């Protein structure tokens, strides 16, 4: 009996929302919880039936002891009426024995009734919680998933807050400026190189023309 008490008490004390919030798969965990509850209810019903059977046995034992005590009390009275004190004494001894038995059975029966009542109460609480979980299954799963999503978002936001985006942007801008400056420098070098080569080419071109002009003049003078 303690085992089923413990099992039912643990399930009743359990906070479904807290359990589902920390679950990787809330729906799967809720289904398992519902199965556990169902199993506990079946076990509780079976144990309650056993305890009620024991209660009825104790009630029978108590009734038997009380009847025997009454019967021997009648015999003691009969013996006294017949002046048989010896038999009366023996009958009274039996009366006392059965009264003691009846007292023991009464205590046991009271304890048994209390145990059955407690088990029934816990069983009813578990049934109420089980019915509520079944009715609100989808809502509980949705709340658990929403809580998990909120937790994930909070974690992501916290991690993002640790990044210094201003410094990152400044570093990237500096790198781009360096690339632009290098590109401008390369272009300027290329332009200067082309200008010098053009001047030398121009000088070469002018000298050729002068030679051709001198040759032409010499030819015509002849």
Query: pTM above 0.75?
Result: no
pLDDT of residue 1: 44
What pLDDT is recorded for position 155? Answer: 67
pLDDT at 2: 47
What's the pLDDT at 146?
A: 72
What six digits make up the tokens of 101? 């038995």
What DSSP line would sit under the chain, residue for residue?
Answer: -HHHHHHHHHHHH--HHHHHHT-SSHHHHHHHHHHHHHHHHHHHHHHHHHHHHHHHHHHHHHHHHHHHHHHHHHHHHHHHHTT-HHHHHHHHHHHHHHHHHHHHHHHHHHHHHHHHHHHHHHHHHHHHHHHHHHHTHHHHHHHHHHHHHHHHHHHHHHHHHTS-HHHHHHHHHHHHHHHHHHHHHHHHHHHHHHHHHHHHHHHHHHHHHHHHHHHHHHHHH-
Determine the pLDDT at residue 206.
61
- On whether the CB atoms of residues 142 and 42 are closer than 8 A, the answer is no
Q: What is the pLDDT of residue 72?
A: 96
Rg (CA), the chain: 53
According to the model, what pLDDT value does residue 187 have? Answer: 72
75 vs 69: CA distance, rounded Å: 10
As given in the structure block, the two tokens for residue 157 are: 């936001």
**Confidence at residue 194, expressed as pLDDT on a 0 to 100 scale:** 59
Render pLDDT for 88-100 as a digit per residue (tens, 0 to 9): 999 999 999 999 9
Q: Which residues of the chain have pLDDT under 70?
A: 1-24, 26, 144, 147-166, 168, 189-209, 212-213, 222
């Amino acid at each position: 009996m303690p085992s089923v008490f413990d099992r039912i008490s643990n399930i009743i004390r359990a906070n479904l929302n807290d359990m589902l919030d920390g679950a990787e798969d809330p729906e799967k965990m809720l289904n398992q919880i519902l199965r556990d509850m169902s199993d506990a209810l079946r076990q509780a019903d079976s144990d309650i039936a056993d305890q009620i059977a024991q209660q009825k046995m104790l009630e029978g034992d108590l009734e038997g002891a009380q009847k025997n005590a009454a019967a021997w009390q009648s015999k003691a009275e009969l013996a006294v009426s017949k002046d048989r004190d010896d038999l009366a004494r023996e009958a009274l001894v039996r009366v006392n024995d059965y009264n003691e038995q009846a007292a023991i059975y009464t205590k046991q029966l009271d304890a048994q009734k209390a145990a059955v009542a407690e088990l029934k109460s816990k069983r009813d609480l578990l049934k109420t919680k089980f019915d509520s979980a079944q009715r609100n299954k989808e809502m509980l799963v949705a709340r658990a998933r929403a809580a998990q999503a909120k937790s994930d978002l909070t974690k992501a936001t916290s991690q993002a807050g640790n990044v210094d985006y201003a410094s990152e942007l400044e570093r990237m801008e500096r790198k781009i400026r360096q690339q632009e400056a290098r590109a401008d420098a390369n272009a300027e070098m290329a332009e200067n190189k082309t200008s010098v080569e053009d001047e030398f080419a121009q000088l070469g071109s002018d000298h050729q023309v002068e030679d051709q002009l001198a040759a032409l003049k010499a030819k015509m003078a002849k």
